[in-house]
Amino acid sequence: MSLKSDVIFSAYRAGSFPMAQGKDDPNIVWVSPEYRGVIPLTYFHISKSLQNFIFKQKYQIKINTNFSKVIKYCADRPETWISEKISKCYIDLHKQGHCHSVEVWDQQELVGGIYGLAIKRAFFGESMFSRRSNTSKIALAYLVSRLKYGGFSLFDVQFLTNHLASLGAIEIKKSNYQELLKVALQGEADFLLQPLQVTPLEACT
């Protein structure tokens, strides 16, 4: 099955997402786990130390300025599910206005970020990276703030990890996820509604 936009949208609406076995793997596996990782937008948590770090940060937060580099850095690890085919598909979706990146910059250097796909009131977080301490957490905090401000109701992070759990992510059954997804696919949200430099702290407490 090719990775065309209509295929991607149909899969996500049905609760599935694509993965590959490696960067050079031409095959796509469609995944619909029995337990799904989500971040309830009202329960996202950042520690006091991270709050202080954000207040004192020297970094600049940008949106969608270099999506292709974000996905490249997310795939830059010994083992990755982000193949060349998947990268190309999501870059195309970004050009169409459906995929977005939250980026953490230190002057001219991209040091952290996260990207995902927006459909109606659902945001499907795909991957994130850090090249400096805490920069993926910073990107995630700004993303949650933006999703809440823009009217999203579902933040899907696919699988629960210890890292995500420490930030408020939980694991739910597929049936419960499908119910949340059904609601999120009704109505509209606007990822670009929030000003770029608004602090995420108030929205994430």
**Domains of the chain and CATH, by start:** 5-184 (3.40.630.70)
Mean pLDDT of the chain: 90
The b-or-e profile of 69-81 (16+ CB within 10 A means b, else e) is ebbebbbeeeebb
Give the tens place of pLDDT for each residue, 162-201: 888 888 899 999 999 999 999 999 999 999 986 545 455 4
- pLDDT of 47 reads 78
Q: What's this model's pTM, rounded to 2 decimal places?
A: 0.91
Give the tens place of pLDDT for each residue, 89-143: 999 999 999 999 999 999 999 999 999 999 999 999 999 999 998 899 999 999 9
Burial environment of residue 183 by CB neighbours within 10 A (0 to 12, 13 to 18, 19 or more)? middle
The neighbouring-strand residues paired with 124 are: 117, 156
Bigger pLDDT: 144 vs 56: 144
Q: Three-class SS of residue 80?
A: coil
